[in-house]
Structure 1
Amino acid sequence: METVLGTVERIWRYPIKSMGGELLDEVAVDARGLVGDRLYAVRDAEGKFGSGKNTRRFRRMPGLLHLRSRYPGGSVAELPELLDPDDVPVPDPTAYVRRYLGRNDVEVAREGEISHLDQLPVSVLTTATLDWMRAAVPGVPVDERRFRPNLLVRTPPGTPAFVEDQWFGSTARIGQTTLRLRFERSSERCVMTNEAQRDLPHSPQILRTIARAHDMRLDALATVARPGRVRIGDTIALT
């Protein structure tokens, strides 16, 4: 017997890693995740990817979240379009990023041997958890963009926060297509959740709240058990 978890309310894809993404009505999902998701990144001469933090893989490049990316016409066969902070498309993404960051050693590059994904292919967040976050940090603007999920799932009234934890080890059917996701674990959150972007101001309260309430974890990360498509309004049900 299936257990219905909720319905897909929004679908997010991020063509260029660490930038704002695009809202979709539907998208194909393969073993790597949403087709075209984080397929490009800002890369420096040492091969590190632009991010909000410095680690072995990432180089802090402040301001990337004020930019946005999308695929023209939805086709991932083309280089993604980069939009400046005023949402105006730029003619040359690499040239623009170099001027924007004040660095000549960066480029917008397609994924090669090293994956651009931080953790697992698909991130799923519920409205129950998102609503809890809003209540936990009153006065701080919060929406799902701070947590960069691929799928925002509308859960039934009364669903507890962090319900995603209950899904780990289970497989979910998405809509009426072949798509199946296997929920594995949650994301380990970092300073990116605090970063300013577009109309969301910087706020250290975000990460502190997640750390205090849920050990730095928030969402459900999934692998793709069977490729397919996901659409707005699709039911998500544990099989």
Structure 2
Amino acid sequence: MIVSGLWRYPVKSMGGEPLREARVDPWGIAGDRRWMVVDRSGKKPWAGEFRQLAGVSAVQTGDGGVRLRAAGHPDLHLAEPVGGEPVEVTLRGVGRAVSAGDAADAWLCAALGLDVRLVWLDEPARRPMSESHGGRPGDVLSFADAAPLLLTTEPSLRQLDAWIADNGGGPVPMTRFRPNLVVDGEMAAFAEDGWGEVRVGEVLFRFAEHCDRCAVTTLDPATGRTAKEPIRTLAKHRRWDGNVWFGVRIVPVNPGTIAVGDPVQPL
């Protein structure tokens, strides 16, 4: 088994970027979800309701900043707003973040058609991971929902696509599930459900929880349209405890570097 894909999402809920190699920090892949869009009350808009968020892409730049891109708008490059204005945010365990500045807010308002602002998490090590999501004392995360990384596997997606095809549907791209780490190789579909620990290259990861999936996976970022898949088929084959499931959330046990092609060894 090997790493077949690595992804980073510099801005929460926006399109991400594929990587060949990534540094893994205690809170996840370096640069992952360090930025977030919030409304004027500090609340994060839900991508399932505000679909235009997925139509904006973000790429991390060499200085640790980001470059934002949206159709019909010039690209915007932002440096890390060190020392910027503090902003109250409602995301659990954060409390405050740093404003990206007026230029970023104006660009986002024009690109999204929403009265929003962009904020940056200056110190991810201060946000604790919740015990309800498998966190242990000392576990931390960025603006990610529940755990530092999400792992998915190609055999599981192939099985899901086969189930969808049985109902006359087409394949679903892995990007719909917004994984950080994708694994391929000789394994059964959904084998990752039973991994307690997994070594990827030089980094050891611990299972935190299975990942429940929402309607955001039905959204095509290119068109802004939604469909019934993959939720309909997951509800038929992968439903328990009132949710549907695909992928597992994991926590790094040690920092290090991982790369596409690295060996993957469940322990």
1:116-135 alignment, distance < 5 Å: 116-135=143-162
Structure 1 residue 119: Cα displacement: 1.1
Equivalent in the alignment of 1:96: 107
Aligned residues: 218
Equivalent in the alignment of 1:69: 58
Structure 2 unpaired stretches of 5+ = 78-102, 128-141
- 1:63 aligns to what SS in structure 2? helix
Structure 1 residue 96: Cα displacement: 2.2
Equivalent in the alignment of 2:219: 195
Q: What is the identity percentage for the equivalent residue pairs of Structure 1 and Structure 2?
A: 30
Question: Which TM-score applies when normalising by structure 1?
Answer: 0.83
Aligned pair 1:108/2:105, yes or no?
A: no
Equivalent in the alignment of 2:41: 46
Q: Residue deviations 1:115-162, cap 9 Å, x none?
A: 521111111100001111222223334111100000111121xx3322
Structure 1 residue 211: Cα displacement: 2.0
- Structure 2 CA distance, aligned partners of 1:189 and 1:171? 22
Partner residue of 1:229 out of 248, 257, 265: 257
- 2:212 aligns to what SS in structure 1? coil
CA contact (8 A) 1:134 1:141 kept: yes
- Structure 1 CA distance, aligned partners of 2:73 and 2:18? 14
- Structure 1 CA distance, aligned partners of 2:71 and 2:220? 12
Q: Residue deviations 1:46-88, cap 9 Å, x none?
A: 21113324xxxxxx32211111101123x42x2x111114796
Q: Quick one: higher RCO (CA 8 Å, sep 6+), 1 or 2?
A: 1
Partner residue of 1:151 out of 173, 178, 181: 181
1:194-213 alignment, distance < 5 Å: 194-198=218-222, 201-213=225-237
Distance change (3 Å), C-alpha of 1:162 and 1:85: farther
- Structure 2 CA distance, aligned partners of 1:94 and 1:229? 33
- Structure 1 CA distance, aligned partners of 2:112 and 2:73? 17
CA contact (8 A) 2:207 2:250 kept: yes
CA contact (8 A) 2:70 2:111 kept: no
Question: Which TM-score applies when normalising by structure 2?
Answer: 0.75
Distance change (3 Å), C-alpha of 1:198 and 1:172: same
Distance change (3 Å), C-alpha of 1:206 and 1:125: same
Aligned pair 1:18/2:4, yes or no?
A: no
- 2:234 aligns to what SS in structure 1? helix
- 2:220 aligns to what SS in structure 1? coil
Distance change (3 Å), C-alpha of 1:96 and 1:195: same
CA contact (8 A) 2:51 2:224 kept: no
What root-mean-square deviation, in Å, do the aligned CA atoms of Structure 1 and Structure 2 show? 2.1
Equivalent in the alignment of 1:34: 29
- 1:217 aligns to what SS in structure 2? strand
Moved more, 38-47 or 91-100: 91-100
Equivalent in the alignment of 1:173: 199
Q: Residue deviations 1:4-41, cap 9 Å, x none?
A: xx100110000001111011111110110101111101
Distance change (3 Å), C-alpha of 1:87 and 1:44: closer
CA contact (8 A) 1:14 1:22 kept: yes
